[in-house]
Amino acid sequence: MSAPKKLFIKTYGCQMNVYDSERMAEALGGKGYVETKAAEDADMILLNTCHIREKAAEKIYSELGRMKKLKKGNPDLKIGVTGCVAQAEGEEIMRRQPIVDLVVGPQSYHRLPEMETKVQAGEKALDTDFPEEDKFEKLKGRPKAKRGPSAFLTVQEGCDKFCAFCVVPYTRGAEVSRPADRILTEARELVERGVREITLLGQNVNAYHGASANGDLTLAQLIWELDKVDGLERIRFTTSHPNDMMDDLIEAHGTCDKLMPYLHLPVQSGSDKILKRMNRSHTAESYLRLVERIRAARPDILLSGDFIVGFPEETEADFQATLDLVEEVKYGTAYSFKYSTRPGTPAAERPLVDEDVASERLQRLQALLTRQQREVQESMVGREVGVLLEKPGRLPGQMVGKSDYLHSVHVGDCDKEVGDMVRVHIVASSTNSLAGELIR
């Protein structure tokens, strides 16, 4: 029997890319590949790319440049670029970096086995189509090996919102929801393998409308179906658009015990002028009223958000409106970035805010968000929370897990195992985590 070939995947960007990387590894598993954590040992390297961050494409070209030595030392090494940069750049990647053997977009990675056969025959392989077939259905089922207690599960892909700054509609395509029965089957299989918590993924996850025997299900209805899965203890979802936060989903946050009290709800700006320029189709006021309704349903919910600073035409007054919104909402965590141009998007042609001004605004926003995160974490001290144990800690007898609110919690003097759900008394807060004692 020949030795298995080794596959190294480097994943950039969002949780959906993490999920996609898992499925790509499974797709190539049928071709005899096993994963390795060292690129130097690999027979095939895949860079699963993201186009959201600044200069994403150039960073991938730099990474490929560093891999020339690996290719020179191992001429049989195959190198592939997958994901959103692959979708956006296509043939340009192979033209600029001849060491690349295959390029495949995020909607076509189920075709990787056929592409691998092609590159092993000495040909180049390129596929950036939006195929009609369901890539999830075409992939073989997940292997039954034991896995960690939490997992991502993609339920929806693509976006129809066309925010002026975003490339997702162009790289991931239109909104598509997976059929509910396939999601439920995959969820049960994950639970059989040891998963206790599932995070449902989508570029616009709360726009989910998946087919079922009883008609299309909303995301809330899908969550209630998952609630019936024995052994599944926790359900989360990300990322949401405010305009698709429907009544039944808000209600589920208050009534479904398995749906965790954490919600990522990006707003991007507190200025109505900038929101309109962004094509967000909501106002600051409508967002704030939505937050009120969500907190009325689940008063202890922890809110997370996204913010873009220095969007074209943003004035100091516009930025102050963002600070005012943050002060009112009080986020438990948030992600904030300076605007960076994405070629092909509507905002790309607009005049930029001065770089120094945008940087200074970002520092001010991040200082406020950091203060709020610290205050929320400190408010957890003295409370009892549920924790899903995920790994041993650095200290003897210590375990680390995630709380109901997605805080990282270090549990001392813990005689439990990975995958156990425990109740913990929080005793201290540090920069990015909490410390707790097991309640016996």
What tokens does 107 get? 């909607």
Question: Domain 5-127, CATH 3.30.565.10 — does that match?
Answer: no
Question: Domain 138-379, CATH 3.40.50.620 — does that match?
Answer: no
Say which CATH architecture domain 384-438 belongs to.
Answer: Beta Barrel (2.40)
The mean pLDDT of 390-406, rounded to a whole number, is: 96
Distances (CA, A) of 168 to 130, 204, 230, 248: 13, 10, 35, 27
Confidence of residue 131 (pLDDT cuts 50, 70, 90): low
Q: Where are the domains of the chain?
A: 5-127, 138-379, 384-438
7: how many CB neighbours lie within 10 A of its CB? 24
Closest CA relative to residue 274, chosen from 342, 353, 204: 353
Q: Give the residue numbers of the binding site for [4Fe-4S] cluster.
A: 14, 50, 84, 159, 163, 166
What tokens does 93 get? 């990647």
pLDDT digits (tens, 9 = 90+) for 107-120: 788 888 899 999 99
The reply to whether the predicted model has a pTM over 0.85 is no
Q: Give the residue numbers of the binding site.
A: 14, 50, 84, 159, 163, 166
pLDDT digits (tens, 9 = 90+) for 82-130: 988 888 788 888 889 999 999 998 878 888 889 999 999 999 999 877 6
